[in-house]
Structure 1
Amino acid sequence: MTAGTARTSRPRGPAQLQGIQALRAIAALLVVFGHAAHEAEAIAARIGVPAIDPSFLYWGSGVDIFFVISGFIMVHTSAELFGRPGAWRIFLARRIARIVPLYWLLTSLLLIGSLFVPQLLNVPIGDWQHILASYLFIPSLRGGSEIRPVMALGWTLNFEMFFYLLFAGAMFLPLRRGMAALAVTLLGLALIGMACPTTQVQVAFWTQPMIIEFLFGCLLALAYRHGIRLPPAVAAACVALGLVAMLRLPGIDDPAWLPQFLRLGIPATVIVAGAALNRGDVPRHAWPLVALGNASYSLYLFHPFALRPLRDIWIRFAGASLPLEIYVLVAFAVAALSSVLLYRLVEQPMSTWFRFSAAPRPAPGPMPGTTAT
């Protein structure tokens, strides 16, 4: 990488990856904002004050950013494995060690909580088949109306795991042919979803057009491997313009001719491009985001556990004496702090143990770069 190493006072890692880590924090905080606003709405209804209106922002666009980042990281970290014997096993073992332990732990805590404090749940837990599907990352109907696992936020992980399987299949081929096969597969699935809608739950879920956002990230990683870089000013402009595009702009918002996965997927890709292809250093003021980005997975999964009880605490002790905007700020702080602690005390040790105890060793293969033909 051309950026070099960071100073010891900065978060460790190349500047390119630091920018991606900062984006992970931003993406997670967008989701936290949406859920904090939802909790604030519930507080407003209880205490009889006006609710906060979060509709000015596509806060769900944090997921689109995550998907583009995921595609980028998969190619960036695994490109040299393509075409090697057993590459798919190595890749899946790494991803399972990264994703599964914390998700299964929090899903189990949610199930235990449903037995003792069911009043804290916004929706009821489904039957045993739904629970099993949730653990196995298989899309399943919750309440007969929406495709959500026991932990609702896990719907994005159902997408992630499906993408990992497709990506692992592409690794049987050299990099270029593998990426071409993956692109054809993702585009084909999206076209099926748009042209042939179905009521079959798993097919309907896996053929949603937003799956193409993973491909956008893969293409950015290929651009990075080919040496494409952006001047710092251009990279910063990409991030800024992409974030502005995720606002609901009066008069030009939601054009009928632009599908939703492009409405948010294109800005997400522009944002990730600004971070991933930036040939400069991460600005000093972004360092806290880089640090929080390390805990972004914990932040994404755990923040509902922090916000739901915070709602009751706020109603009891603050009520209408403080504006709900303050509640949102407190929710950000509580979610961030608790997630950093969870990351350091639970997620990181678990992932490290699983990664080193269960991941297979790479098999001998061609020298780096020879698998790209």
Structure 2
Amino acid sequence: MPKAKTQQLHLIQLLRAVAILFVMLGHLNGLLYKRYAQDWFGMGEWGRTGGVDMFFVISGFMIAYLYKHKIGESGQAGIFLQKRITRIIPYYWLTTFGVLSVLLIFPYFGEQLSISYVIKSMFLLSDDPILTVAWSLTHIFFFYFMFTLLLFRPTIGRLAIAIYLTVIITSYFIDFFPENMLAATLLNVSNLTIWLGAFVAFFLSTSRVKVNSLIGGALTVIGIAGFLFLWTNNTIRFLNIEQGTIRPLLYGISSCFLVAGLASIDLYQKTRVNKLLDYIGKASFSIFLTHSLFLMLFIILLIENVKIQEVIGWDLTMIVILLLTTIGGLLAYQFVEKPLNKRLNSLLNRNKMHHHLAVPAKKIS
């Protein structure tokens, strides 16, 4: 692996853009299928397109890729966790308030919300939060907590991770699925998927086998084939692949091949990606969090009020909604997420500076 430990991975950014497209397609199809019996390729009944699973793998990979050389370094665990919380929670709260406002104004999209449900959603304690995609953040944060332990105490962290993943795999094979929400969340196969992405990063950085661009291309093809196989089976159903556990795991494994392949190409040769797609990749988290809000707004505006589907048909209507939702997410990234993160980082850096200045003064006195 090249010496540059934080080399920019353009193809992984591209994969982020692809992943968010899969997520939006799945959710738009689900909404239109449920309310208007409109669907693309039977996706309304798929239950999962693999986009979220791809995000899980990319998230695990990027965290391990960026922080693997900091494992065991003093002070890195606290800095890492603080950055992750600051990066996600404030923006998640803002987006949740946005969705909550739409649901209160347009109850067409949801039932009456209780205060306890709102509080649980805000703190990621609901298995069906107000912001639908937020269920995935629960798994992401549990990964962050375990990775923090790995940074803080590598030996203990590795042992804890090994035991934890063994428990997940064992529960998976003996068909043990607890009814308790916390236990079910901790044993969900999605947690394993995130760590698979991290293991890909660890493998690329430690393996003595040179995974060059040729091998990377082959791995990428295998990953694409995995997704095509699963999508075809979702539609034709020639194999009975369980939706809740096996399918997410297979999506995750296919995503691992994609990430390993594209990262290998990125690391061993100069790559360029279309600027728009690269920007969508950078804004993928913002699009991921806000797309439910924009989908609801544009469905209300274009389908319920303007009835654009009667003029241009359902296919073009779906394309228009996808484009507008993507634009909405990009605007949210540019004018909300980026300034918010810049402001929060500035405050954190200012507090650190004050802390460092205050410590010597206290010792001198």
* Bucket of the pairwise TM-score, normalised by the shorter protein: 0.7 to 0.9
Q: How far apart, in 1, do the equivalents of 2:147 and 2:290 lie?
A: 27
Counterpart AA for 1:200: N
Counterpart AA for 2:116: Q
Q: Once structures 1 and 2 are overlaid, which stretch shifts more, 57-66 or 340-349?
A: 57-66
Matched, 1:26 2:10: no
Q: How far apart, in 1, do the equivalents of 2:47 and 2:256 lie?
A: 15
Q: How far apart, in 2, do the equivalents of 1:3 and 1:241 lie?
A: 31
Pairing partner for 1:89 from 72, 75, 78: 78
Query: How many angstroms does 1:59 deviate by?
Result: 4.6
CA change 1:253–1:292 in 2 (3 A) is farther
1:259 is aligned to: 246
Pairing partner for 2:121 from 118, 129, 134: 134
**Does the 8 Å contact 1:231/1:280 carry over to 2?**
yes
Q: How far apart, in 1, do the equivalents of 2:284 and 2:323 lie?
A: 14
Q: Once structures 1 and 2 are overlaid, which stretch shifts more, 334-343 or 268-277?
A: 268-277
Matched, 1:234 2:218: yes
Q: How far apart, in 1, do the equivalents of 2:100 and 2:151 lie?
A: 36
User: Mapping of 1:324-363 within 5 angstroms?
Assistant: 324-358=314-348
Aligned length: 339
Query: How many angstroms does 1:326 deviate by?
Result: 0.8
Query: How many angstroms does 1:77 deviate by?
Result: 1.3
2:193 is aligned to: 213
Q: How far apart, in 2, do the equivalents of 1:42 and 1:262 lie?
A: 26
Counterpart AA for 1:191: T
Q: Deviation per CA, 1:77-117, whole angstroms, max 9, x where unpaired?
A: 112222123322111111112111210101122333444x1
User: Which structure 1 segments of 5+ residues have no match?
Assistant: 5-12, 141-146, 363-373
**Does the 8 Å contact 2:57/2:256 carry over to 1?**
yes
2:296 is aligned to: 308
CA change 1:335–1:3 in 2 (3 A) is farther
Q: How far apart, in 2, do the equivalents of 1:293 and 1:3 lie?
A: 25
**Does the 8 Å contact 1:40/1:51 carry over to 2?**
yes
Q: How far apart, in 2, do the equivalents of 1:42 and 1:190 lie?
A: 34
Query: How many angstroms does 1:341 deviate by?
Result: 0.9
**Does the 8 Å contact 1:299/1:336 carry over to 2?**
yes
Higher relative contact order (CA 8 A, sep 6+): 1
Matched, 1:184 2:159: no
- With structure 1 as the length reference, what TM-score do the two structures score? 0.80
SS at match of 2:178: coil
Q: How far apart, in 2, do the equivalents of 1:128 and 1:56 lie?
A: 32
2:281 is aligned to: 293
2:99 is aligned to: 110
Query: How many angstroms does 1:156 deviate by?
Result: 0.4
CA change 1:198–1:251 in 2 (3 A) is closer
**Does the 8 Å contact 1:33/1:59 carry over to 2?**
no
SS at match of 2:43: coil
**Does the 8 Å contact 1:191/1:209 carry over to 2?**
no
What is the root-mean-square deviation in Å for CA atoms of aligned residues?
3.0
Counterpart AA for 2:227: L
CA change 1:261–1:129 in 2 (3 A) is same
Q: Deviation per CA, 1:2-23, whole angstroms, max 9, x where unpaired?
A: 498xxxxxxxx945x2111111
SS at match of 2:152: coil
CA change 1:3–1:240 in 2 (3 A) is farther
Bigger proportion of residues as helix:
2
